[in-house]
Amino acid sequence: MILRKVIRLLVVLGVVTFLSYVMLNLLPGDPTVQILGMSATEEAREQLRQEMGLNSPLFVRYADWLGGVVTGDLGTSYITDIPVLEALVDRLPVTLELLVVAQVISLALAVPLAVAAARRAGGAIDQALTTLSFGMLSTPVFVLGVVLILVFAVHLRMLPATGWTPISVDPYWNFLSVLLPSITLAVGQLAVYSRLLRTDLIATLQEDYITLARARGLSPRRILWRHALRPSAISLITAIGLNLGGLIGGAVIIETLFGLPGIGRLIVDSIFARDYLTVQGGVVLISVGYVLVNFAVDLVYAAVDPRIRRA
Amino acid sequence: MLRVEDLVVEFPAGKGRRVHAVSGVSFDVARGETLGIVGESGCGKSTTARALMQLPAPLSGSIRLDGVEMTSLRGEKLRETRRRLQMIFQDPISSLNPRRKVRDIVAEGPRVWGEGADRVDEMLEAVGLDPVTAAGRRPHEFSGGQCQRICIARALVLRPEVVICDEPVSALDVSVQAQILGLLEDLKERYRLTLVFIAHDLAVVKNISDRVLVMYLGKICELAPGETLVNRPAHPYTRALLASIPGGRLALPPADQLIKGEPPSPVWPPSGCRFRTRCPKARARCAEEEPVVRPVADGQWVACHFPEIDGV
Ligand SMILES: Nc1ncnc2c1ncn2[C@@H]1O[C@H](COP(=O)(O)OP(=O)(O)O)[C@@H](O)[C@H]1O
Ligand SMILES: [Mg+2]
């Protein structure tokens, strides 16, 4: 199983990086202009192109780059002169913290809400939650983000509007600066998570072993939390996995809105700067992250339902 | 000890329609007795069984356990009374939480009642499982028959007085069926249980039941001691069920002459006698007037306008 996963990882990496390599080369614009400025002579630019290997065929360049990646060398940006790996390592903690805090917030709310709704399907709590989650789902993140900034930062002055304080500098300010962006991210997830879990919980509660647990006199609370929750978590885990995988790169909007120096911002900035090497490095990182999350999700499945391990 | 009167259970079937799953069923079960309930699938046997436990509670009717009206109990009282009845379901695999170990499955009941787990090993042994090897494993490592043994142990460890077995062997291989039936009879003796034994197959029920209740489309057709039912069936539906068992002692016509067509939908049950649409003896009166359950012989009760009282 591990071997299959590793092969899958390699295939995904190969395909994704090649495609992004091709697409980057389709972008209009000339990196030498970015590096040397508009006033540079055509000769000087031609020389730089030679040095950067921009004149060799696309496939050769890709193979060259891939050879470096395999040996752990992601290259050094021509634009900023910073090693790509260093730039990524510098930015990664911001994005990871954002994702983790957003997951914690959305799960901490989604699970109790789903349990409360499933307890009486069609009841008042259930209907309120349904309405609420459609509202949350249909609010675009940038609108929500702006509203949250206006309310909590501009009017109430409780939280910083934008910017980032690393945890190593000041944990308290770090927490404050991650709070608004992660709440913004968490709202949409909360809606999806609570809906999925509610539906699966209601299905699980129909199972014979739940009826029998009630017959034995177990309390509704014990039945919900101890017997029904875990077997109902499969869709939820799948959704968390997809979210985490997709959001490593997809946090761009949030990072831009709140001025967070994360991976998403790095990649977008690098695209505009024609900093191809950094973009490619980011793509590698995202794909590795995606596959690792997938791997973790499979492990969690097996922990949730022991029958899956045999399949 | 258990008295059921005029039990009615309905389910919503969309667009304001209702499934008439159980419509006015009454019977009682004496202490130490085994009452069999038969009828083709969909006739409301499981619904009746679950209504006895208030899972879910019936729409109307009365269920009294030693005189205590269960339908009006709530909260802690209901929990305590319900515990005296336990159930065993048809599908032993889905009756067990797949994630839990056998010991935890059996021990959880006593634990939530604050009784400790000292009877768990005894119970596993009583159902024919070796506590040393079995207790640490999970349900999916066992066969269907063994899972049913686990279910029985889990029910009996709570010292119930009545055990409701809803088709406990229908999902099992024929060779295993006899073992489980034998086990249930042994345990009944040993723990002085009262059994309600449900099956869609009269052949399974008639041997282990003292009395048998025949149901059709949510109603009672006939209630009689097992011997009487087999030798002198009075309701046309009972005769049809008996005719479909190979090796019957009665010279009955083939089953397809005693019953015709498919069962009607419980959403629109027929007027009058619910069996009349399939009954070879149906007349005009059967559509107009619903037959009441009435005694026709010693201990034999029938709901039919034209019962076969002389046996054939
Ligand atoms: N939860 C439910 N919701 C709706 N209809 C149900 C439900 N449970 C049972 N029924 C219906 O009630 C009728 C009786 O079902 P059941 O008691 O399971 O029959 P049996 O156990 O005799 O096979 C069937 O028509 C069935 O479709
Ligand atoms: Mg049934």
Q: If chain A, 311 residues long, is cut into consecutive pieces of 10 residues, what is the mean pLDDT of each piece? A: 78 85 79 77 82 79 87 86 92 92 96 94 92 91 90 88 86 90 92 95 94 93 92 91 77 88 90 87 86 84 70 43
Pocket residues for ligand 1 (CB within 6 Å)? B 11, 19, 21, 39, 41-47, 266
Distance of CA A163 from the midpoint of ligand 2 (Å)? 63
In the three-class reduction of DSSP (H, G, I as helix; E, B as strand; rest coil), residue B74 is classed as coil
Atom number, ligand 1, closest to the C-alpha of residue B56: 1
Distance of CA A121 from the midpoint of ligand 2 (Å)? 24
Q: Which residues pair with A72 in a beta bridge?
A: none
A269 within 8 A of A87, measured Cβ to Cβ? no
B198 within 8 A of B165, measured Cβ to Cβ? yes
Residue of the nearest CA to atom 7 in ligand 1?
Answer: B11
DSSP string, B110-173: HHHTT--STTHHHHHHHTT--HHHHTTS-GGGS-HHHHHHHHHHHHHTT--SEEEEESTTTTS-
**Is the pLDDT confidence value at B264 over 90?**
yes
By residue count, chain A amounts to 311
pLDDT at A250: 67
Percent of chain B residues topping a pLDDT of 70:
99
Domains and CATH numbers, chain A: 2-70 (no CATH), 85-310 (1.10.3720.10)
Domain(s) of CATH 3.40.50.300: residues in chain B: 2-84+160-302
Percent of chain A residues topping a pLDDT of 70:
97
Interface test with B, best of A204, A205, A207, A209 (most B CBs within 10 A): A209
| Residues of A in Cβ contact (< 8 Å) with B98 | 231, 305-307
C-alpha dihedral sign at B198, B199, B204, B206: positive
The HSE-up count of residue B235 (CA atoms within 13 Å, CB side) is 31
Q: Is the Cβ pair A227, B50 closer than 8 Å?
A: no
Q: Which residues pair with B3 in a beta bridge?
A: B28, B64
The HSE-up count of residue B251 (CA atoms within 13 Å, CB side) is 0
Q: Which residue of A has its CA nearest to B141?
A: A307
The mean of the pLDDT values for chain B is 93
Q: Is the Cβ pair A231, B94 closer than 8 Å?
A: no
pLDDT at A309: 56
More confident residue, B123 or B312: B123
Residue of the nearest CA to atom 16 in ligand 1?
Answer: B44
Q: Is the Cβ pair B85, A215 closer than 8 Å?
A: yes
More confident residue, A256 or B161: B161
**Is the pLDDT confidence value at B249 over 80?**
no
Average pLDDT over residues B111-120: 90
Instruction: Place B235 in a pLDDT band, splitting at 50, 70 and 90.
Output: very high
Nearest Cβ partner for A307 among B112, B140, B154: B140
Residue of the nearest CA to atom 26 in ligand 1?
Answer: B42
Q: Is the Cβ pair A222, B112 closer than 8 Å?
A: yes
A–B: how many Cβ contacts below 8 A?
68
The per-residue b/e assignment along B195-231, b for 16 or more CB within 10 angstroms, e otherwise, is: bbbbbbbbebbbebbbbbbbbbbbbbbbbbbbebbbe
pLDDT at A286: 85
| Residues of B in Cβ contact (< 8 Å) with A218 | 108-109, 112
A129 contact partners, CB below 8 Å, separation of at least 6: A113, A114, A116, A117, A194, A198
Structure tokens at A24: 């980057």
Backbone φ and ψ for A44, nearest 5 degrees, come out as: -60, -40
Interface test with A, best of B95, B105, B115, B164 (most A CBs within 10 A): B95
A169 contact partners, CB below 8 Å, separation of at least 6: none
- Give the predicted TM-score (pTM) of the model: 0.83
Minimal CA–CA distance to A290: which of A233, A247, A237? A247
| Residue corresponding to tokens 């509202």 | A135
**Span A3-39, pLDDT tens digits:** 887 787 788 888 888 888 888 877 777 777 777 777 7
Distance of CA B43 from the midpoint of ligand 1 (Å)? 7
pLDDT at B69: 95
**Is the pLDDT confidence value at B311 over 50?**
no
Q: Is the Cβ pair B79, A217 closer than 8 Å?
A: yes
Q: Is the Cβ pair A218, B96 closer than 8 Å?
A: no
**Span B163-174, pLDDT tens digits:** 999 999 999 999
Q: Is the Cβ pair A208, B94 closer than 8 Å?
A: yes
The per-residue b/e assignment along A82-112, b for 16 or more CB within 10 angstroms, e otherwise, is: ebbbebbeebbebbbbbbebbbebbbebbbe
CATH 3.40.50.300, applies to B2-84+160-302: yes
Window from A16-25, A190-199, B65-74, B145-154 with minimum mean pLDDT: A16-25
Atom number, ligand 1, closest to the C-alpha of residue B22: 14
**Span B201-234, pLDDT tens digits:** 898 898 899 999 999 999 999 999 999 999 999 9
